[in-house]
Structure 1
Amino acid sequence: MPSSDHTFDPFSVDVVADTLFGLPGVEAVALGGSRAEGVNRPDSDWDIAIYYRSGFDPESVRGIGWPGHLSDLGGWGRVFNGGGKVTVGDQLIDIHYRDLGLVDEIHDTAVRGEFTIEPLLFHQAGLPSYILLAELGINQTLRGALPCWDYPAVLQKTAPLIWWDHSRHTLDYADSHARHGRVAQCAGLLSEAACHAAHAILAHRGVWVTNEKRLLDTAGLRGLDDVIMRLGSARGSLERAAADTRELLVATGTREGMSWR
């Protein structure tokens, strides 16, 4: 294990990858996020995933001595697992723990068209379990070897229906809040419904989703901004916004060639 007083300055992604790959139990290290996709800004952080199969201890990462905070395994839930932010030289690094055993399990269910939606902070629609497969679809492997799968054909058929069903029910609750003049709840649920619908549209396309940052843009639902900005406090205004949101979601899905239930 690297000594705790070792520093890395200037920042080098190769040094970070070598250091993490040398930790006990680590089978691979990958670059993810905007830098893996080539859409990063100069000030974007670095998303680095540690892939293990058994026997990994986050204490080994803490022992490197990089300033920051790292969770234990499972600190971010069953699927997203854990990790944290550390600083290496002058760069902010997002470290993620990824269990290859769970990846295999999720892949096995995804090829049958099955998945779960996990609650996670800052994700309005929740986190689809197949995000672990999506990451492998866009990540750049820095060290070791990792699997990479195409979007499962059966999942491409089942996932849109599930996501749209969630969107439709969320819209129903937004309608209820609109009728009672509850501005905050109505606005929040309209946005959440759009995120569910965006997942449906991108699943229909067979496009991997790794987070919600560009979700509405990619799905062609950025027009929701105009609906939200027109919101007022009057009940009639809220009801129009709910109706306009439903129309936007259905129309966008229909243009994608989707048959909503």
Structure 2
Amino acid sequence: MTDDTFLNGVADALAALPAVEGVALGGSRAQGTAGADSDWDLAIYYRGAFDPDHLRAIGWEGEVSAIGGWGGGVFNGGAWLTIEGRRVDVHYRDLDVAEAEIARAQRGEFDVEPLMFHLAGIPTYLIVAELALGRTLRGEVPAVDDYPAALRRSAAARWSQMAELTLGYAAANHAPRGMVTQCVGSIAIAACQFAHAVLAAEGTWTTNDKRLLHAAGLQEIDAVIAAAGDDALAEAVARAGALARARLESATARIAGGTDAA
């Protein structure tokens, strides 16, 4: 079975579920960066009440969560499936929530929510990024064009502030006590926070942590963490901060003072 035949069949089945108004392809498959073993990320956009039992009834192998089963918030559940030998993730997307987050993003507003596998949590505008980067397969989903100028400024400022606080706490409390795990964890979290700040400043959408540091040009922090040891914790915290600040300064240069409205 070809990929196109497979995708069309899955999209048809998802689009036929009650309350579903649109189906979109996301992730590396939508962006043209997938490898042979990449999974398939699909989102079902529903209006009103969606019942996961309808998805379970299709009979695909795997785990189907309840609404809110992934912790609630904007990422409110989904399924990890195997269909025709292919790994498929299906994400629940409430259209009312998506439309509200698009409006908030236009105003430069967002929250940060915890989500498994995302070290620094996720910004609620991540579902807006999905719409910007994804490909609609069936029905209709909200259209997202450019990265909002207000969000570029607010997200860059907020993420960088969180990163500075994270590193500052590690430098003042963890490093002097030789707390290796806490220091390394703080550097990792702050690196992700700085990466979100850089990408926001540049107006670049991102949807997950897998290549977050690379996308933001902060992969050098890998070497900082690899070299960290009990005798070099304070230096590692300082080096990671210096690398990230230099990259962020370059990214924010064009929007300093609100001069870049792109």
What range is the shorter-chain TM-score in? over 0.9
1:113 partner letter: G
Whether the 8 Å contact between 2:198 and 2:252 is mirrored in structure 1 is no
Deviation per CA, 1:181-239: give whole Å up to 9, x if none.
000110010011010001001001111110111110011100001111111112xx111
Whether the 8 Å contact between 1:9 and 1:90 is mirrored in structure 2 is no
TM (norm. structure 1) is: 0.92
1:121 partner letter: M
TM (norm. structure 2) is: 0.92
Whether the 8 Å contact between 1:133 and 1:148 is mirrored in structure 2 is no
Flag as ranges the 4+ runs of structure 1 deviating above 4 A: 8-11
Q: 1:111 to 1:101 in 2, by over 3 A?
A: same
1:95 aligns to what? 90
1:4 aligns to what? none
1:170 aligns to what? 166
Q: 1:257 to 1:158 in 2, by over 3 A?
A: closer
Q: Could you tell me how far 1:253 is from its partner in structure 2?
A: 1.2
2:216 aligns to what? 219
Q: Could you tell me how far 1:255 is from its partner in structure 2?
A: 2.2
Q: 1:138 to 1:9 in 2, by over 3 A?
A: closer
The more displaced of 180-189 and 71-80 is: 71-80
- Pick aligned residue for 2:151 from 149, 155, 163: 155
- Give the Cα separation in 2 of the matches to 1:256 and 1:122: 26
2:185 aligns to what? 188
SS at match of 1:39: coil
Q: Could you tell me how far 1:147 is from its partner in structure 2?
A: 1.8
2:226 aligns to what? 229
CA RMSD of aligned residues (A): 1.7
2:15 partner letter: F
Q: Could you tell me how far 1:257 is from its partner in structure 2?
A: 3.8
Gaps (5+ residues) in structure 1? Answer: 1-7
Q: 1:66 to 1:170 in 2, by over 3 A?
A: same
% identity of equivalent residues: 48
2:59 aligns to what? 65
The structure richer in helix per residue is 2
2:189 partner letter: E
Alignment of 1:203-214 (within 5 A): 203-214=200-211
1:105 aligns to what? 100
Whether the 8 Å contact between 1:9 and 1:89 is mirrored in structure 2 is no
Provide the aligned length of Structure 1 versus Structure 2: 251
Alignment of 1:124-139 (within 5 A): 124-139=119-134
1:221 partner letter: L
